[in-house]
Amino acid sequence: MSKTLTIYDTTLRDGTQAENFNLSVEDKIRVSLKLDQLGIDYIEGGWPGANPTATEYFEEIKNYELKHALVAAFGSTRLFQNPPELDVNLNALIAAKTPAITIFGKTWDIHVTDALRIGLEDNLVIIEDSLAYLRPHVKHLFYDAEHFFDGFKKNREYALATLDRAVAGGAEILVLCDTNGGTLPTEIPAILTEVQKHIKKSKQTVELGIHAHNDSETAVANSLVAISMGATQVQGTMNGYGERCGNGNLTSVIPALALKMGYEFEACNHLKKLSETSRYVNELANLPHNRYQPYVGTSAFAHKGGIHVSAVKRNPLTYEHIDPEKVGNIRRILISDQSGRSNVLHKAKKFGIDLDSKDPIVTSILKELKTLENQGFQYEGAEASFELLMRRALGTSRRFFDLKSFRVINQKSDMDQPPEAEATIRLEVGGEMVHTAALGEGPVNALDKALRKALVRFYPSLADMWLEDYRVRVLASEHGTGAKVRVLIESKDHETQWGTVGVSHDILEASWQALVDSITYKLMMDEKKKSTT
């Protein structure tokens, strides 16, 4: 642990090889700045010359001053037919003018003979002279030993010989790659021990790194084992994105090294930014956040069973392996048909509702909750609806308006044109009748617009509220078009975000329920603010 441990992020290169994971140059810059704030030591920006996006990124990132992270360019050893000084790839790496360069070479003999189609000795030559050519042009030079673990298991002597030539070329860190992701944690110690013995015997001064892929669901474990064996650099990606099944997930590796294994590195000082960074990368890639992801997922510290909740309230360590705030996450107590009195009381406290554990209303709320969830309602992502449920049970929920009727027309008059949606609504607000209509992008949007249009002159703050997300889940799909649907709506204003739910055989009715709860919750929160100012 006395050696310096570095975190090397390859989200912008290896991560973008994942299916459906794409980032523009602007997005890559934003991610780089976020990773720098997190305290990542190296950010691999891409393969200059391989595509226009990577080349443009390296030009653009020069306009930004990173506080800690160093940018690395990535590429391969030279083509066999090219001398180093004429190799386009090597010269593109130099032209990127990054403080670090990482190149990979073939370690597994089968790749040399079958992929490169050159002799084994020829491969050793191009490893050494590629690195030697780059060495004077860069501050930090790393060598990725591609397919190292597979190569070592098939031909130990040759795999080690490739490392020797990389050291001779000037590599300061030899990164051992499990490129196919098939190595298990039980294999890592013996292989690293042999590599370390070889390095010591040959009196080389070089550090080891680990670059694990997740095809066997062991990339994080392999990374942690390698570090515990003396490796000083760990490579991975945010949220584990990468080709096929992904790479070592740094959002799991970083907190494990910092909080459980006692290592110190710059990101240790910024762990509270970890969850935020994880979500930020997903948002820029337009991908959903994995709620079940360890450490940073929204369910990572969520408690559903009543017994669990009761214990966690007394001592969080009973069902949490770390304090969620250490990684910027939060503890969540879920409301569901498995809920006990502890869950309801915990939520009441959170909502500012004074409830005694012996109050019969608690039993009444639980009974209604379980009845509604049996009908298909789900409150885990719709806490605003659950708070309204509780307040209605207590008789403290105000009706801000009454529906008299609504009608939605979805009319298609041309085969080649989209349908037109129009909603008409009649409401009573404070004894005054309101009748209005609106067009929308689909029937639910039209209904939403008509409802807001009718209410905004009475409640102007609704103009500052918008619908953030709209999700529909078909329940019991064997009933086909007659199945119930559950609609979950995420709403937002300039200060907060909340979720509401509706369930019905009719998608418009389910949407209406969720919309009404959303607006009612917004108006209730506005009233609370006024009463406290």
275 burial type by CB count under 10 A (0-12 exposed, 13-18 middle, 19+ buried): buried
If you classify domain 6-285 with CATH, what class do you get?
A: alpha beta
Mean pLDDT lowest among 132-141, 264-273, 396-405: 396-405
Q: What is the pTM of this model?
A: 0.71
Reply yes or no on whether the pLDDT at 477 is more than 60: no
3-state secondary structure 460-523: HHHHHCEEEEEEEEEECHHHHHHCEEEEEEEEECCCCEEEEEEEECCHHHHHHHHHHHHHHHHH
| Spatial contact of 210 and 239, defined as CB atoms under 8 Å apart | no
Reply yes or no on whether the pLDDT at 2 is more than 50: no
* Interval 44-91: pLDDT, tens: 999 997 878 889 999 999 999 999 999 999 999 999 999 999 999 999
* Across 460-484, average pLDDT: 79
* Interval 159-210: pLDDT, tens: 999 999 999 999 999 999 999 999 999 999 999 999 999 999 988 889 999 9
Picking from 237, 239, 206, 235, the residue whose alpha carbon sits closest to that of residue 223 is 235
* Across 463-475, average pLDDT: 86
Q: Among positive and negative, which fits the CA dihedral 31, 36, 42, 45?
A: positive
DSSP state of 108: S
How far apart CA 186 and CA 219 sit, in angstroms, is 12
Q: Which pLDDT belongs to residue 433?
A: 96
Distant-in-sequence, close-in-space partners of 26: CB < 8 Å, separation ≥ 6:
none
Reply yes or no on whether the pLDDT at 214 is more than 70: yes
Q: Which pLDDT belongs to residue 331?
A: 74
Q: Among positive and negative, which fits the CA dihedral 146, 148, 154, 155?
A: positive
* Across 338-346, average pLDDT: 66
| Spatial contact of 102 and 44, defined as CB atoms under 8 Å apart | yes
* Interval 97-138: pLDDT, tens: 999 999 999 999 999 999 899 999 999 999 999 999 999 999
Tell me the DSSP string of 169-205.
Answer: HT-SEEEEEETTS---TTTHHHHHHHHHHHHHHTT--
Residue type, 37: Q
| Spatial contact of 461 and 522, defined as CB atoms under 8 Å apart | yes
Which of the following CATH numbers is that of domain 375-380+466-533: 2.40.37.10, 3.30.160.340, 3.40.50.1000, 3.65.10.10? 3.30.160.340
How far apart CA 259 and CA 12 sit, in angstroms, is 26
| Spatial contact of 75 and 114, defined as CB atoms under 8 Å apart | no
How far apart CA 283 and CA 276 sit, in angstroms, is 11
Within this chain, domains 6-285 and 401-458 share the same CATH topology: no
Which of the following CATH numbers is that of domain 401-458: 1.10.8, 3.40.50, 1.25.40, 3.30.160? 3.30.160
Q: Where are the domains of the chain?
A: 6-285, 302-372, 375-380+466-533, 401-458
Mean pLDDT lowest among 99-113, 325-339, 347-361: 325-339
Q: Which pLDDT belongs to residue 341?
A: 67
Reply yes or no on whether the pLDDT at 1 is more than 80: no
How far apart CA 464 and CA 454 sit, in angstroms, is 15
How far CA 398 is from CA of 362, 395, 427, in Å, comes to 20, 8, 16
Reply yes or no on whether the pLDDT at 335 is more than 70: no
How far apart CA 530 and CA 533 sit, in angstroms, is 5
174 burial type by CB count under 10 A (0-12 exposed, 13-18 middle, 19+ buried): buried
* Interval 230-240: pLDDT, tens: 999 999 999 99
How far apart CA 257 and CA 251 sit, in angstroms, is 11
Say if strands 70-76 and 42-46 run parallel, antiparallel, or are unpaired.
Answer: parallel
How far CA 4 is from CA of 68, 140, 171, 265, in Å, comes to 15, 14, 17, 7
How far the first Cα of the chain sits from its last, in Å, is: 54
Angle subtended at Cα 64 by Cα 63 and Cα 66, rounded to the nearest 5 degrees: 150
| Spatial contact of 248 and 220, defined as CB atoms under 8 Å apart | yes
